Amino acid sequence: MITSRHTKEDNASKDLMIHGRIHSGEKPFECTVCSKRFSASRALVIHSRIHSGQKPYNCHVCAKAFRTSGNLISHLTIHTNERPFTCLICDKRFRYSSGLTTHKRNCHSSIMPYYCPYCGKQFKVAYALKHHVYTHTGAEPYSCRHCSSRFRTRYQLKRHLLESHNEGTWLTCNICEWKFASSKHLKWHLVRHESIKSYVCSECPKCFYTADHLKSHQVVHSDVKQFGCILCNKMFKRKYDVPKHFKRCSTAMSFSW
């Protein structure tokens, strides 16, 4: 009994030490292949399987293999149709915690405190506003260290490094094998596997997974042009049309000088 008690105390002390590294930023465990660092040895072991291709956890239904037990558990809900994650506001259920997290952003809060100084559009989080402002300014703050390419977002840079320079590791959807450059975009993708297109356009038969996707689509049916070029004041319906125009506009103006 004394040994068991001491073992529990030792484990608790170890867990506390690992947790403390979250606050200190200490990452003593380094991958010998890509030099990525981790705060716990277990995390390094799991990461190493990306390089070795090792997938020790097998689904007993379809024999698909996975790198972690967590991935296997998530996969098994496909066969059982289990949806263990429930929204406390509307009772909608989700297969993955990532689906519930994304849903909460739309269901639980309507507060959008961040305003664009160019067009007045509102955002729930600061980083969304930051990236939106780039559509007005044409800024591309993320540069490739291997070539002269520049990008508006970190994700675009990560995709470029993977596609053009084979730097980094693709993250693969365990359901459809699509590949992504970041875990965030993979999580957003997984939502689609557990959701239905419940948002229907009132102007046409098209359906969408989220309210944001529907809102983005409805611009097609509107004459409102809320995104403007700060150089010539030309207006556009879609924000992704602005950076392309801004490059042409800034080049034309530089020649006119």
For 53-85, what is each residue's pLDDT tens digit?
888 888 888 888 888 887 787 778 777 777 777
Tell me, what's the pLDDT at 241? 78
DSSP secondary structure string, 82-150?
A: ---EE-TTT--EESSHHHHHHHHHHHT-----EE-TTT--EESSHHHHHHHHHHHH----EE-SSSS-E
Please state the domain count of the chain.
1
Least-confidence region, from 44-48, 90-94, 120-124, 183-187: 90-94
Residue 126 lies in a domain: no
pLDDT, tens only, 92-143:
778 777 777 777 766 666 677 788 888 888 887 787 888 888 888 888 888 9
Digit-coded pLDDT (tens) for 212-222: 778 778 877 87
Q: What's residue 44's pLDDT?
A: 85
Contacts of 30 (CB under 8 A, 6+ apart): 36, 37, 38, 44
pLDDT, residue 149, reads: 92
> Is position 185 within any domain?
no
Q: Is the pLDDT of residue 3 over 60?
A: no
Range 6-26 average pLDDT: 70
**Per-residue pLDDT at 162:** 92
Residue 198 resides in a domain? no
Q: Give a yes or no: residue 33 inside a domain.
A: yes
* 24 found inside a domain: yes
Specify the CATH number for the domain of residue 29: 3.30.160.60
Q: What is the pLDDT of residue 194?
A: 63
**Does residue 12 lie within any of the structural domains?**
yes
What per-residue string of b and e applies to 9-40 under the rule 16 or more CB within 10 Å gives b?
Answer: eeeeeeeeeeeeeeeeeeeebeeeeeebebbb
**Tokens representing 197?**
């297109």
| 64 vs 211, higher pLDDT | 64
Whether residue 226 lies inside any domain: the answer is: no
The overall average pLDDT reported for the chain is 78
Range of the domain at 41: 1-53
Asked whether the whole model's pTM tops 0.85, one would answer no
**3, part of any domain:** yes
